[in-house]
Structure 1
Amino acid sequence: MAAMSLALSPTARRVLASRPVLLGLAIVALMVLAAILAPYLTSFDPTIMKPRFRLKAPDATYWFGTDALGRDLFSRVLHGGQVSLFLGLVVCVVAVGIGTVLGLLAGATRLLDAVLMRIMDGIMAIPSILLAVAMVSLFGASFVSVVIAIAFPDIPRVVRLVRSVVLSVREEPYVEAALGLGVPRWLVLLRHVLPNCVAPLTVQATYIFASAILVEAVLGFLGVGYPPDVPTWGNILAEGRNYFQQAPWTIFFAGGFLAVTVLSVNILGDGLRDQLDPKLAGRRS
């Protein structure tokens, strides 16, 4: 452990010593672990319907009760975590990856900057939920279409963030010196500019991850997300809303897992921002 702590940079040690970061990481890790171990933690198939056990209250056999079709909600919530968390991760990678490339190009090339940023402004003018609903309705409900529909509205935010970093860093003396020595512009972007984007992108990625999980739940609640037979937190909430008064457990546990996950990711993002943002150095001290 001592050798590991010595190998970590001062920034990494400061981040790992932050209580919000540790709290957020612990809760997210617990949720991920529960989702991964779902087949071993549950003894019921999340898709098997048992009508004679419909809307059964939580007990020693059905820990979270059953839904209107007699399916075990504990199994469905844990398996739904697999879908929702994996979707959030993929959306985060897609949005950050595409947004970073476009942001670097926009910040480095004046002509591309004028074109790309007007396109990004146009995308941001459309409410993200409406855009996601329209795209899923157009391309159909599948994993790929849902990922594209959720990631697409988040790309402009990443582009604007990376572009702002590039515009500030490209005026630094070491960047001008590298260009003056004949280093290719693309290599300067990768070696000297991109590392400065890591800290703000890390914080932005946590918010995209949390937002993606929420948007997926909204799409499922509206009936335009994954097919109803796929257990996701959004689908569970959508199926249980008609029975909430007589069987509140049909949405309580899925909503609780969703809320705790999003809250923990936001706590993690706030903690990372507090430790990585240079503007908050005075507050930390």
Structure 2
Amino acid sequence: MSAEVVTNKEVSSSIKSKKKEKYLITTVKRLLKNKLAIVGLIIIAIQIFLAIAAPVISTYDPARQDLAASELPVFSEGHWLGTDNYGRDMWSRIVYGARISLLVGFTAVSLGLIGGVALGLLSGYYRKLDGIIMRVVDLLFAFPGILLAMLIIAVLGTSLVNVAIAISIWSIPTCARIVRGSVLTVKKQEYIQAMRSLGASDFRILVKHILPNCLAPIIVFATMRMATAILSTAALSYLGLGAQPPTPEWGAMIAQGQNFMWTSPHMTIVPGIAIMLIVFAFNVVGDGLRDALDPNMDLNQ
């Protein structure tokens, strides 16, 4: 009898594994059909490579000043993206800026997901907590996102660490709403009722059965939130609330270069293009993932 139970468990596990593998392959195929998403993935891959390989591919120390070579235009000898008003190499500052932007963005989104997913699961599953958690979320929604981040930084102080914390707090209410909506749908399914009747704990139901079925909207949210986080990091640094000189952060570089728009426009244009590309990339990949993870995609085509 026990051997039959073990065999049934193995068969069930094998079927589930094959279903997951098939779903993953189908999702990847759908994503690869989206040309814009492929372009976005390539841009993100390049930016990640630049961030990781910054010490190797940069030609100069990003903080090294050379006033004799200040404000050199693009394609100058030894400085193919030119230099800023202090003679610092723009290429080196851009690749190190990619490292800062991606690191702050990833940290902010990760922290936001941890808080948002936890609150969303509790709010959607426990009716008694729903009202309290959602009123707190509504309170956070009452503040425009960038103003909320500025308020948090004003309390904590200006630094990239505090920027990541501020953006993560700003991300929590949106994530909580998305997860709550998914939980409310999933917890009504018959298999969840079956697990309860079998005596499964709430923690096991939430983590093993409800959360995996909420991953699709969470993944899409995280991808698109990366774009918002990077853009917000640049905006806060532009306002002087994030990276401080001489840190090579893209928003701070734009703020510094705006005073030289007529004489050295590359000081503003180059970091602006870098921000535009990475934000565009995460947005189109997020759109592609949303379509690829949609279970009704085949029916709509």
Q: Structure 1-normalised TM-score?
A: 0.94
Q: CA deviation at 1:261?
A: 0.6
Distance in structure 1 (CA, Å) of the matches to 2:116 and 2:194: 27
Task: Check conservation: 2:28, 2:292, Cα contact below 8 A.
Answer: no
Q: What's the CA shift string for 1:25-55, capped at 9, x where partnerless?
A: 1110011111211211122110011112211
Look at both structures and tell me which one has the larger radius of gyration over its CA atoms: 2
For 2:201, the equivalent position in structure 1 comes to: 184
Alignment of 1:188-203 (within 5 A): 188-203=205-220
Q: How many residue pairs were aligned?
A: 280
- Structure 1 segments unaligned to the other structure (5+ residues): none
Q: CA deviation at 1:96?
A: 1.1
Match of 2:38 among 2, 6, 22: 22
For 2:159, the equivalent position in structure 1 comes to: 142
Q: Which deviates more from structure 2 when the two are superposed, residues 49-58 or residues 208-217?
A: 49-58
1:256 partner SS: helix
Q: CA deviation at 1:60?
A: 2.7
Q: CA deviation at 1:277?
A: 2.1
Greater relative contact order (CA < 8 Å, ≥ 6 in sequence) = 1
Seen in structure 2, the aligned counterparts of structure 1 residues 228 and 137 have a Cα distance that, compared at 3 Å, is farther
Q: Which deviates more from structure 2 when the two are superposed, residues 257-266 or residues 131-140?
A: 131-140
The letter for the 2-side match of 1:57 is P
Q: CA deviation at 1:92?
A: 1.3
Structure 2 residue 54 is matched with structure 1 residue 38: yes
Task: Check conservation: 1:20, 1:270, Cα contact below 8 A.
Answer: no
Match of 2:240 among 220, 223, 226: 223
Match of 2:257 among 233, 237, 240: 240
Percent identity over paired residues: 37
Q: Which deviates more from structure 2 when the two are superposed, residues 132-141 or residues 249-258?
A: 132-141
Distance in structure 1 (CA, Å) of the matches to 2:102 and 2:159: 16
The letter for the 1-side match of 2:47 is M
For 1:57, the equivalent position in structure 2 comes to: 73
Q: What's the CA shift string for 1:131-163, capped at 9, x where partnerless?
A: 111211221122321111111111101000000
Distance in structure 1 (CA, Å) of the matches to 2:134 and 2:296: 26
For 1:101, the equivalent position in structure 2 comes to: 118
Distance in structure 2 (CA, Å) of the matches to 1:185 and 1:125: 32
Q: CA deviation at 1:7?
A: 10
Seen in structure 2, the aligned counterparts of structure 1 residues 30 and 161 have a Cα distance that, compared at 3 Å, is same
For the aligned residue pairs, the C-alpha RMSD in angstroms reads 1.6
Distance in structure 2 (CA, Å) of the matches to 1:263 and 1:19: 13
Q: What's the CA shift string for 1:76-117, capped at 9, x where partnerless?
A: 011011000111111111111211111001111112111010
1:278 partner SS: coil
Q: What's the CA shift string for 1:4-27, capped at 9, x where partnerless?
A: x98954334433444333222111
Seen in structure 2, the aligned counterparts of structure 1 residues 278 and 68 have a Cα distance that, compared at 3 Å, is same
2:48 partner SS: helix
Q: CA deviation at 1:270?
A: 0.6
- Structure 2 segments unaligned to the other structure (5+ residues): 1-20
Structure 2 residue 117 is matched with structure 1 residue 117: no
2:242 partner SS: coil
Q: What's the CA shift string for 1:211-268, capped at 9, x where partnerless?
A: 0000011011111111122111111111101111111000111110110110011110
Distance in structure 1 (CA, Å) of the matches to 2:296 and 2:153: 39
For 2:27, the equivalent position in structure 1 comes to: 11
Match of 2:94 among 57, 62, 77: 77
Task: Check conservation: 2:120, 2:180, Cα contact below 8 A.
Answer: yes
The letter for the 1-side match of 2:71 is L
Alignment of 1:249-260 (within 5 A): 249-260=266-277
For 2:14, the equivalent position in structure 1 comes to: none
Distance in structure 1 (CA, Å) of the matches to 2:157 and 2:95: 25
Structure 2 residue 173 is matched with structure 1 residue 156: yes
Distance in structure 2 (CA, Å) of the matches to 1:6 and 1:111: 38
Task: Check conservation: 1:200, 1:277, Cα contact below 8 A.
Answer: no
Distance in structure 1 (CA, Å) of the matches to 2:102 and 2:128: 38
The letter for the 1-side match of 2:167 is I
The letter for the 2-side match of 1:218 is A
